[in-house]
Amino acid sequence: MLLEATTPADEVNPWQSAAHRFDEAAELLKLDDGTRKVLRTPAKELIVNIPVVLDDGRVEVFTGYRVQHSIARGPAKGGIRFAPDVSLDEVRALAAWMTWKCAVVNIPFGGGKGGVICEPQILSEGELERITRRYTAEILEFIGPERDVPAPDVNTNEQTMAWIMDTYSMHMRHTVTGVVTGKPFELGGSKGRPEATGRGCMIVVLEALKRFGLRPEDTRVIIQGFGNVGGMAARLMGRAGFKIVCIVEYDGAVYNPHGLDIEALGKWRRETGSIVNFPGAENVDRDSAILMDCEVLIPAALENVITSANAHQIKAKILCEGANGPTTFLADSVLAKNNVFVIPDILANAGGVTVSYFEWVQDRGGFFWNEKEVNGRLEEIMVASFNDVIAYAERHGVHNRTAAYMLALDRVASAIRRRGLYA
């Protein structure tokens, strides 16, 4: 049965959003009850309470999670985030999205996710290292190159991955590079991984433009988030000729109708700590910036940015979801009614996990590819996946997001049936 749209709190609960979209796709696919039950529930959930000595000698206990939603198509795959508002529901939703994302781009992984409740901004490098190593030790039996392969997410990075790889390797008594992806290049990381998610966004937007008869030079882009995903997408799309007219950050937004100089904006932020007051642009209101006129909107920062309260004001023709879960399930129908062409998160930001897959393959084979090879293979997968989703949407008369979920569910359900996982 479909979940009903309920309270405002339900609208922004990522697990409710994930469950709602799952139910809709399962219903349309007429998925049998047993498979529905299997896929609606995460396969494994681990909660750990990690004691860590702080720099001032006090002992603090941090709570961490690792959830494996499904391993039907291969080892669980998914990032680890460090943030004060991490919750089990959020980690569950993110793990389920990873299952669907890996299936949409047809790579041999299931879905997992992890998180630690902490405030990285007030923790020292040493404290973050101790949290990471202790968290890794506590989830050690859960992870591994053939079991569950973490990666960076919000507030974790290459250094975090290097600590996880080292802690895991210490316990295994030999170096195991394939236990995490998103590592520094000298520790088994892949060329092209830092740009992969932003590059993937650009590739699918270029495919979408063909459907609108638009060229990059005629395309105004607004990007929310100037971090890994948004910053890279801005840089690459700027170089490809797109007009990046607005960048939105947590402390303000900057706008130039003729296009911002993205390299100069990056330099400005490095020097001043903010994008605000950038010369050659006008400061605009952060919350209304994503509602301005443009051809492409890329939310690449947070969850629940486009909701039932503002979806009707979105003017973009194409919405490319760089972040995970930026649109609530109640906003979906509003966007559909207004003919916004949605490139859903489980497709749009799949470039990251795709190059993570390449990294895992390279680590296991011990042979490393050059950047051209990585980018070429990424483009091949993103273009094919975009076309698969659009063809599915047209064949079944559904919207792109529903099509992406249906395609993913179909692939995972088929793996479950072939394996006979509930025998």
Number of residues interacting with ligand NAD: please give it, by CB under 6 A: 21
Based on the shown chain and the rule CB under 6 A, indicate whether residue 116 belongs to the binding site for ligand NAD.
Answer: no
- Restricted to residues 297-326, the positions that interact with ligand NAD (CB under 6 A) are 300-302, 322-324
Residue 409 φ/ψ, nearest 5 degrees = -60, -40
Residue 399 φ/ψ, nearest 5 degrees = -80, 165
Chain position whose Cβ is nearest to ligand NAD: 227
Based on the shown chain and the rule CB under 6 A, indicate whether residue 156 belongs to the binding site for ligand NAD.
Answer: no
Least Å distance between CB 173 and ligand NAD?
Answer: 31
Residue 263 φ/ψ, nearest 5 degrees = -60, -45
C-alpha to C-alpha distance for 231 and 238, rounded to whole angstroms: 10
Listed in sequence order, the DSSP H helices in 240-370 are: 262-272, 286-289, 329-337, 345-348, 351-365
356 touches 181 (CB < 8 A):
yes
Q: 59-70 and 111-117: which strand pairing?
A: antiparallel
- Which range in 49-57, 120-128, 222-230, 371-379 contacts ligand NAD by CB under 6 A? 222-230
**Residue 178 or residue 231: which is nearer to ligand NAD going by CB?**
231
Least Å distance between CB 423 and ligand NAD?
Answer: 34
Based on the shown chain and the rule CB under 6 A, indicate whether residue 82 belongs to the binding site for ligand NAD.
Answer: no
Question: Which one of 105, 154, 205, 412 is in contact with ligand NAD (CB under 6 A)?
Answer: 154
Q: Say whether 113 is catalytic.
A: yes
| 163-183 core/surface letters (b: 16 or more CB in 10 A; e: else) | bbbbbbeeeeeeebbbbbbbb
SS3 197: helix
Question: Which one of 99, 132, 197, 400 is in contact with ligand NAD (CB under 6 A)?
Answer: 197
Least Å distance between CB 37 and ligand NAD?
Answer: 27
Based on the shown chain and the rule CB under 6 A, indicate whether residue 14 belongs to the binding site for ligand NAD.
Answer: no
Take residue 69 and report the two structure tokens written for it.
């939603």
Q: 111-117 and 76-83: which strand pairing?
A: parallel
- Restricted to residues 164-193, the positions that interact with ligand NAD (CB under 6 A) are none
Which one of 30, 44, 77, 113 is the catalytic residue? 113
Residue 421 φ/ψ, nearest 5 degrees = -65, -25
Least Å distance between CB 322 and ligand NAD?
Answer: 6
C-alpha to C-alpha distance for 327 and 344, rounded to whole angstroms: 9
Least Å distance between CB 194 and ligand NAD?
Answer: 8
Binding string, residues 249-278; x marks residues near ligand NAD by CB under 6 A? xx----------------------------
Enzyme catalytic residues: 113
Query: Which residues of the chain form contacts with ligand NAD (CB under 6 A)?
Result: 153-154, 197, 224-230, 248-250, 300-302, 322-324, 349, 352
